[in-house]
């Protein structure tokens, strides 16, 4: 299935999304910190079996507006809310940074979304342990991509990915605005999403990457305590980029979500 791109003006800027048409409810998919929408294409194609999928190029990434913008969590959450209003109460699916964005947005305006699927959100924050990946992994690879790099150059950063996935990252990573990525990474340590979690009133599913250190057993327990209605699925053995490691396991954990 081929997706097609389109642009909308929302929250004061231009947003680019890729639509993978499906027969189910609308799904707004918000990728992580350095994942332009097109890199999620192989996932969105399969998600379209259950959802009408719209994958966002988050501000400062891919083909969305970039430059001298506000790249904070609150700005990204406001984008999600503006897009949700245009789409008409979609389900929101967010990965990593995108999951934190979904949490903040849904906590700010509880009726904006029909439901939320949170894919391995960083649980770092004030007075909490640091987000496991080091900044150099992001910063060094972006510098390399901005200069122009091959898929083989990128393989050192993503050794378990397929040739196609690595080639897409090598092609598109340069579109990730340095300031946007730095602000988001720093925000993993300064923004407190735990205060938002109890405010979620919509059906919410947490999908944990069982082979990654991002969400550990004590983190899962804390999130369940904050939101007793939280549904949890774990994709055993998968790294943080869950569908890159186990696409079928990811789909098993997401396709049956009902809101």
Does position 256 have pLDDT exceeding 80, yes or no? Answer: yes
- Mean pLDDT over 149-160 rounds to 95
Q: How many CA atoms does the CB half-sphere of 70 hold within 13 Å? A: 11
Band (2; pLDDT cuts 50, 70, 90): confident
> In terms of DSSP bridges, do strands 115-119 and 52-57 run parallel, antiparallel, or are they unpaired?
unpaired
d(CA 91, CA 101): 13
pLDDT tens, position by position, 63-75: 999 999 999 999 9
* Token pair in block for residue 15: 């947003």
- Mean pLDDT over 80-87 rounds to 98
Q: What is the pLDDT of residue 255?
A: 98
pLDDT tens, position by position, 202-227: 999 999 999 999 999 999 999 999 99
User: What is the radius of gyration, based on Cα positions, of the chain?
Assistant: 17
pLDDT tens, position by position, 165-176: 999 999 999 999
Determine phi and psi for 111, rounding to 5 degrees. Answer: -95, 10
pLDDT tens, position by position, 47-57: 999 999 999 99
Strand order in the sheet with 13-20: 4-10, 13-20, 52-57, 26-30, 91-95, 115-119, 204-209, 231-235
Q: Which of 100, 108, 89 is nearest to 31 (CA)?
A: 100
Domains along the chain?
A: 4-128+191-254 (3.40.50.1820)
- Mean pLDDT over 191-209 rounds to 98
Q: Name the residue with tokens 């939101």.
A: 227
Neighbours of 136 (CB within 10 A): 8
Q: Strand, helix or coil at 52?
A: strand
CB 245 within 8 A of CB 238: yes
Q: How many Å separate Cα 86 from the centre of its chain?
A: 20
Neighbours of 109 (CB within 10 A): 14
Q: What is the pLDDT of residue 183?
A: 98
Q: What is the pLDDT of residue 146?
A: 96
d(CA 63, CA 55): 12
């Amino acid at each position: 299935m081929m997706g097609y791109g389109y642009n909308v003006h929302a929250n004061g800027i231009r947003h680019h999304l890729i639509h993978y048409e499906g027969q189910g409810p609308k799904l707004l998919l918000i990728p992580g910190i350095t994942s332009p929408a097109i890199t999620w294409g192989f996932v969105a194609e399969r998600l379209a079996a259950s959802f009408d999928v719209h994958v966002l190029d988050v501000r400062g990434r891919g083909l969305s507006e970039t430059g001298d913008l506000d790249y904070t969590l609150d700005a990204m959450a406001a984008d999600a809310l503006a897009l949700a209003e245009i789409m008409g109460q979609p389900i929101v699916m967010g990965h990593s940074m995108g999951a934190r964005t979904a949490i903040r947005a849904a906590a700010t305006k509880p009726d904006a979304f029909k439901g939320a699927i949170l894919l391995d959100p960083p649980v770092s924050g004030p007075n909490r342990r640091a987000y496991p990946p080091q900044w150099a992994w992001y910063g060094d690879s972006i510098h390399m991509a901005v200069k122009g790099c091959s898929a083989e150059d990128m393989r050192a950063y993503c050794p378990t990915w397929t040739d196609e996935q690595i080639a897409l990252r090598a092609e598109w990573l340069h579109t990730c605005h340095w300031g946007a990525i730095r602000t988001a990474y720093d925000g993993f340590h300064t923004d407190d999403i735990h205060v938002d979690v109890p405010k979620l009133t919509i059906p919410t599913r947490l999908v944990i990457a069982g082979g990654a250190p991002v969400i550990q057993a004590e983190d899962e327990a804390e999130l369940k305590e904050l939101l007793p209605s939280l549904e949890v699925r774990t994709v055993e053995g998968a790294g943080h980029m869950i569908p890159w490691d186990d696409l079928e396991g990811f789909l098993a954990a997401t396709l049956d979500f009902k809101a």
